[in-house]
Amino acid sequence: IQDKEMDSRSLRLKAAHERAKTRYEEEMVMKEKLQQQLDEREKEEEEKKCDEKIEKLENKFSGKGSVTATKRILKEYKHFQTSTDIENFEIKFKGDNFYQWNVVLDILKFELTADLKKDFEWAKDQSGRDPTLQFEVIFSSSFPFDPPFIRVVQPIFKFHTGHVTIGGSLCMESLTPSGWSSARSI
């Protein structure tokens, strides 16, 4: 009789354990689903905020250039703000001009060759600032049919170093009217 009671008790405990385990697994699945819903809501809210910001920008800058240029610049800007592929970039407008961007890249977040890393460390020692690449991007009212003008603002490079001129402008075939394609993105 005692063995039967022990077996019965053991079976009840085992069944209770299985129910608790099942409840735990169900709760974990529910928690995961809730987290996914929360993540989706946060993403939707971020996209909504970005869309609202873009709409405000579009309203603010409509009439200051061509409709095509404004829409395309907004599309490029939105891509920078929402893409998970593009990180470590900061874009600010030059004053109230949506057609002029100041772009800052945090160099420490990128993989660099040893020589380039050494150059940026030297620049940091000279300036006392964290190594960043700062660009000025100027869009014409005929963008995207004409290329943007892109200039390195900081650090200041030596004359004739690669594709950077003495004034900092990027000299590349792809940024000339003959080499530019309106299908190309920034």
Q: Are 118 and 93 in contact (CB under 8 A)?
A: no
**Among this protein's residues, is 171 annotated catalytic?**
yes
Burial class (CB in 10 A: 0-12, 13-18, 19+), 38: exposed
Task: Please tell me which residue in 171, 174, 184, 185 is annotated as part of the active site.
Answer: 171
Q: Are strands 97-106 and 132-138 parallel, antiparallel or unpaired?
A: antiparallel
DSSP β-bridge partners for residue 90 = 104
Contacts of 46 (CB under 8 A, 6+ apart): 82
Catalytic positions, written as ranges = 171
